[in-house]
A and B are shown apart, each in its own frame.
Chain A
Amino acid sequence: MMCDLAMFLGEQVKVMNGVEGFMYPNEIGLQWSVLIVLYPFITGLVAGAFILASLERVFRVEAVKPTYRLALLTALSFLIVAPLPLQLHLGHPERSPEMYFTPHSTSAMAMFGYVYLWYLMAVLVFEIWLDYRRDIVLLSQSTKGPVQWIYKVMTLGSDNISPRSLHIDEKVGWIVTLIGIPSAFLLHGYVGFIFGSIKANPWWSSPLMPVVFIFSAMVSGIAGVMLIYMAMTKLRGQKIDIRCVDTIAMYLFYIFIIDFSLEMLDLIHRIYEADESFRSLNFMVHTKLYVPHIVIQILLGTLTPLILLFITQLVKLPEQVRKRMYVTAGSLALVGIFAMRWNVVIGGQLFSKSFLGYTTYKMALVTKEGSLVAAGLTVLPLFILWALVKLLPPWTAEHVRQATTGD
């Protein structure tokens, strides 16, 4: 089955503009670039980081408390950057307010504006504000210089940090986090639905798509926060809370298993049903997507971290070895999840809807949608995080404690 397609394409390999076989004339150039790969990756990190934060707040997993505030700030940094790849991609970004004024109710993409705004203001900013409010009020009184005005504005004019008000904050914050969990699923799940609801594209069209996106988002977010926590703690010269990291790694492992199972289910289902698109997609995965899909996403990005994490769950290894394995597994997981987004978005545009040919993605270096911009947008959230950590230190209480005990 694969042989005759290979032979057929071999006869037709007129590689003009990178096209093999036949593509509808308008399909030859890709519409959605690496920036559209980056967008779900970024919102995935947001959703995943938030889920990690909710582990402590809602599910009372005490062990991960050291990462609670950091996870929220990480989510916010990435969420601020999230609209940028979309704006750079649009033909008319100045018209994007139309999504707020006349959203089309049948379009999953129209949800973006409102879901984003809801998640940013009513969940993330609200929760961060509630958790930090005591520190904000204190800092608005103690800081000197122009930064003091930032804190003053953030207090919204209220300096009430009585125990009762803080208690109310705690209760309301709990509700916000609770609402935040389905909101996070919505923020990232709708992206999966954007792809999964396109009947024209058999690589995308699947009810599993939103679910796979959500679980892979959790993997990337949890891995991301774990790495950021370990890196930041090291940079601050502090001791990494190994119990915290062990717990995070355990959750990472289990969620990764679910994610991998879902992707395998999709694959097995496709191979078994072998509908009209299967031959073309199968050929694509074995040729054009071989490195990004088989090598990077599956072998390096999923199986390797799973095996590493499995070993750490099975055998009690020395702390130093465990930390190295977590860093490796976490980094590979992030690469694997990025590859997954790549394979979905780019892969879905490499084959013809006639199932008779393939094209190539020529990623430019310095254009508006090129690889330099993509790389820049990936690291930009880290700079924003650095600024947020300076403004709203996640470890203030720790500093105070250490200062008084003279550590």
Chain B
Amino acid sequence: MNLSRRHFLVLMPAAAVAWKAVLAGTPEQAPNYKLSDHWWGMLIDVPKCIGCGNCVRACQAENDVPDGYFRTWVERYHVEDENMTNPEVISPDGGKEGFPVAKEDAGKYFFVPKMCNHCTDSPCTQVCPVGATFVTPDGVVLIDQKYCLGCAYCVQACPYGCRYIHPEKKVADKCTLCYHRITKGLTTACCENCPTGARQLVDLKNPKDPIHEFLKTHPVQVLKPQMATGAKAYYNGLDGSVR
């Protein structure tokens, strides 16, 4: 590192103070975070995804996701001869260590990162018998792991397969949109670590959010629109073969 000692002595405490403020934040205490000011979603730009698996590893590191279970994962599609109903799909260990090398052929390949869609009309919150999973006022679907019975009804009800029962805690678990980060002004772990910008957090209540602008000016899709879940994970360039 090329920092001079003087620079270091000045910057270090400043950074530490700033960081402490970030760490200490909870929605009630964080200076500028009001639940009603935000409505969170995510943009996934399919043509940009290179299948490196950084997002899967980052999510696991950030959220202590147990091995064999996935809060987010990447699928690789191989569509031959425009046969949209018969894609060949793989997701080796969720794409965590990337994908095997694909050989050039007549078909098309692409990667599709998947995660909880943080649905507005979420079927998983509808079926929870006790109110352990819910949509926050700022649009994030969360699980109250102190209240969850572990009945797995929500896991059955999710059309996207994004939920699982935590093998040790025995309660439901899933992507939280890194709620503990976004309420402190940070972005999600997956977006932070994506090298190509294929994943971007979006605040649909923020008119100045550039991703919000993107959503308003480009054709985007959601997964399984026929389910009418109000999904908020928007996909740019989603192929018709994607399940």
Question: Touching in the complex, A and B, CB below 8 A?
Answer: yes
Which residues in A have their C-beta under 8 angstroms from that of B227? 199-200
Asked whether A135 is an interface residue with its Cβ less than 8 Å from the other chain, the reply is: no
Bound state CA distance, A90 and B149, in angstroms? 6
Of B73, B86, B149, chain A has the most CB atoms within 10 Å of the CB of B149
| Chain B nearest CB, measured from A99 CB (Å) | 5
Which residues in A have their C-beta under 8 angstroms from that of B153? 107, 109, 194
**Chain A stretch 273-317: residues in CB contact (< 8 A) with chain B:** 279
Task: State the interface size on chain A (CB cutoff 8 A).
Answer: 44
Which residues in B have their C-beta under 8 angstroms from that of A201? 156
Task: State the interface size on chain B (CB cutoff 8 A).
Answer: 45
| Chain B nearest CB, measured from A38 CB (Å) | 15
- Given contacts A26-B70, A104-B128, A110-B130, whether A12 and B88 have CB atoms under 8 Å apart is yes
Bound state CA distance, A24 and B164, in angstroms? 11
Asked whether A406 is an interface residue with its Cβ less than 8 Å from the other chain, the reply is: no
Residue of A nearest to B89 (CB): A22
Bound state CA distance, A12 and B88, in angstroms? 8
CB < 8 Å: which of A90, A108, A199 contacts B159?
Answer: A199
- Given contacts A198-B156, A199-B227, whether A89 and B128 have CB atoms under 8 Å apart is no
Bound state CA distance, A352 and B114, in angstroms? 15
Chain B residues touching A, majority SS: loop
Inter-subunit contact B148/A353 (CB<8 Å): no
- Given contacts A26-B70, A353-B161, whether A92 and B148 have CB atoms under 8 Å apart is yes
Bound state CA distance, A194 and B128, in angstroms? 11
**Chain B stretch 140-171: residues in CB contact (< 8 A) with chain A:** 147-153, 155-165, 169-171
Which residues in B have their C-beta under 8 angstroms from that of A93? 149
Which residues in B have their C-beta under 8 angstroms from that of A104? 128-131
Bound state CA distance, A24 and B152, in angstroms? 16
Inter-subunit contact B69/A102 (CB<8 Å): no
Inter-subunit contact B129/A110 (CB<8 Å): yes
Of B85, B130, B227, B243, chain A has the most CB atoms within 10 Å of the CB of B130
Residue of A nearest to B71 (CB): A26
Which residues in B have their C-beta under 8 angstroms from that of A106? 126-127
Inter-subunit contact A26/B162 (CB<8 Å): yes
Asked whether B123 is an interface residue with its Cβ less than 8 Å from the other chain, the reply is: yes
| Chain B nearest CB, measured from A35 CB (Å) | 12
**Which B residues fall within an 8 A CB radius of A?**
69-70, 73, 75, 85-91, 93-94, 114, 123, 126-132, 147-153, 155-165, 169-171, 227, 243
**Which A residues fall within an 8 A CB radius of B?**
4-5, 8, 11-12, 22-27, 31-32, 89-93, 95-96, 98-99, 102-104, 106-110, 112, 194, 197-201, 279, 349, 352-356
12 residue pairs bridging A and B, Cβ less than 8 Å apart: A24-B162, A25-B94, A91-B149, A91-B150, A91-B170, A92-B150, A198-B156, A200-B123, A200-B158, A200-B159, A354-B243, A356-B87
Known: A25-B70, A198-B123; 5 extra A-B contacts, CB below 8 A, are A22-B75, A90-B149, A91-B171, A98-B149, A99-B130
